[in-house]
Amino acid sequence: MLVSSLDMAHFVARGFLRLDAVVPEEINQAFLHALNLPETFRPESPTAHFSELLGREVIPEVAPGTRLSQAYASDSAIGNMLKLPEVAGAIESLVGRDPVFDHHFLHLAFPEAAFRKHPERHISQHLHQDSTIDPRQTFDIQVFYFPHAVTAFMGGTRYLPGSHFRIVSEAAISRYQNIIGQEHVVCPAGTILLMHMGIWHGGGVNRSGQLRTMFKIRLCPAVRQQQLWDCTDLAPEHFTQQPTFWTRGGQRDPVQKVLMTQEPWFEADTGRLELMNRIRCWRFLLGDPQFDIDYWLTRVENEIS
Amino acid sequence: MRRQKVLVLYLNSSALDASVIGWAQYDGSDQETHMAGDSAEPPYASGLAALKDGWRLIQASPLSSHMPGSEYRTDYLKYEFFFEKLITVKD
């Protein structure tokens, strides 16, 4: 089930796609049960609890470079989650069929009880971009799997929509505590968030009494990311320049509209550069080097010699 | 004994009266604790509003030339302003 052009434009503009409660409870419970047997959960000792989890076979050791189809047993909870048509279709639309596994990790946010001896450590994670400086146009995705419901008190992943084209160096952005428009994941069980590799994010502080669990997989494309989604829904007017600034308010191509909607935190000048970043990315995805919206790129490419 | 409170505001443009798009606070007097993601609303609407509330501006981002080849690149928040207040605390 490939995503639509509108969904793809949303990913390009904001840096993520969200599939709420897409994973059935049966798979969520199978995943959680294998991870978190009550008799072994030790909230007072996060390190010991984590060491025990590393020994569980529910999350296998997988070498980077492995094809996703070979990374997980097909009858495992993770294997079943990845086979869901909505999940498999979204992954294929973004990074192609059978992408390359980079790494995975189980993120746990322990409740306050785990920090009785060191309350100063019960804080949110600084804002960061994963990996390191990465100026590629080819992009990886990170699949965030929330196997149980996440409430506002549980400190779900905080992320900044539209930050994914910013070329920064991992934790260099940790000084930014709050930015207008930041979002915190609050979601039903079985929600999947597919993030562009560059999105700024951080774990929240867990103020509930329950352990918060999130499983993340990074995937890299093995093919050129060109028209991998269902782009049969693009209207002819999508590819033509439309009047801009001085218009009579007619209906705008909805995909163009999504791509040209700014985030509330964009600066007055660099917000325009972000629109250009999106158009460049859309050109790359369409395989159409002439594509433009509102003349942003054509204007500065009109070099006559 | 005096301690420093630091307020960092990120503005929509280089003008100090431009609107706030991001913020951070660090309290050396230990009266308040702040951390990433702890608020949705900025403490001030603009840099000028912070000045009017007694914050002293101690650093502002310079306006930098654009390096050839990187004119359209976006990276860190561009308009960063550091403010301070000195707070008297007991020894």
Domain boundary among A166, A198, A220: A220
pLDDT of residue A47 exceeding 80: no
B chain contacts of residue A277, beta-carbon cutoff 8 Å: 72, 74
According to the model, what pLDDT value does residue A40 have? Answer: 54
Burial grade of A112 (CB within 10 A; 0-12, 13-18, 19 or more): middle
Cα distance between residue B2 and residue A263, in whole Å: 40
Residues A139 and A243 in one domain: no
Q: Flag if A168 and B75 touch (Cβ within 8 Å).
A: yes
Residue of B nearest to A127 (CA): B36
Helices A5-14 & A85-95, crossing angle to 10 degrees?
60
Quote the pLDDT of residue A41.
Answer: 59
Q: Closest partner residue to B78 among A205, A264, A270, by Cβ? A: A270
What integer pLDDT is reported at residue B36 of this predicted model?
A: 94
**Res. A34: pLDDT tops 90:** no
**Complex prediction ipTM:** 0.97
Task: List beta partners, residue A178.
Answer: B23
- What distance in Å separates the CA atoms of residue A127 and residue A241, rounded to the nearest whole number? 38
Are the C-beta atoms of residues A101 and A219 closer than 8 Å to each other? yes
Contact, A289 vs A295, CB < 8 A? Answer: no
Mean of the pLDDT values across residues A51-59?
76
Residue A162 in contact with partner chain B when CB distance is under 8 A: no
Which of A172, A199, A220 terminates a domain? The answer is A220
Contact A80, A145 (CB under 8 A): no
Task: Give the domain extent around A273.
Answer: 231-301
Is A46 among the domain residues? yes
Residue A98: CATH number of its domain = 2.60.120.620
What total of structural domains would you count in chain A? 2
| One domain for residues A188 and A263 | no
A272 and A212 in a common domain: no
Q: Average pLDDT, stretch A244-269?
A: 93
Answer whether B78 sits within 8 Å of A267, measured CB to CB.
Answer: yes
Question: Which of B8, B12, B64, B66 to mutate against chain A (most A CBs within 10 Å)?
Answer: B12
Tokens 């191509």 locate to: A253
Q: Quick one: pLDDT band at residue A121, thresholds 50, 70, 90?
A: confident
**Domain check: are A98 and A43 in the same one?**
yes
Same domain, residue pair A242 and A206: no
The residue out of A220, A250, A276 marking a domain boundary is A220
Between residues A112 and A265, which one has the greater pLDDT? A265
* Residue A169 placed within a domain: yes
pTM of the predicted structure, to 2 decimals: 0.95
Is residue A117 domain-shared with residue A168, that is, in the same domain? yes
Within this chain, do residues A147 and A288 fall inside the same structural domain, yes or no?
Answer: no
Q: Do residues A150 and A73 share a domain? A: yes
Kindly state whether residues A199 and A73 are assigned to the same domain: yes
A276 — contact with chain B (CB < 8 Å)? yes
In a domain, A225, yes or no: no
> Average model confidence (pLDDT) for chain A?
93
Does A144 lie in the same domain as A51?
A: yes
pLDDT digits (tens, 9 = 90+) for B26-82: 999 999 999 999 999 999 999 999 999 999 999 999 999 999 999 999 999 999 999
* Nearest by CB: B22 against A202, A265, A274: A265
One domain, residues A59 and A207 = yes
In a domain, A226, yes or no: no
CB contact under 8 A, B21 and A265: yes
Q: Do A190 and A250 lie in a common domain? A: no
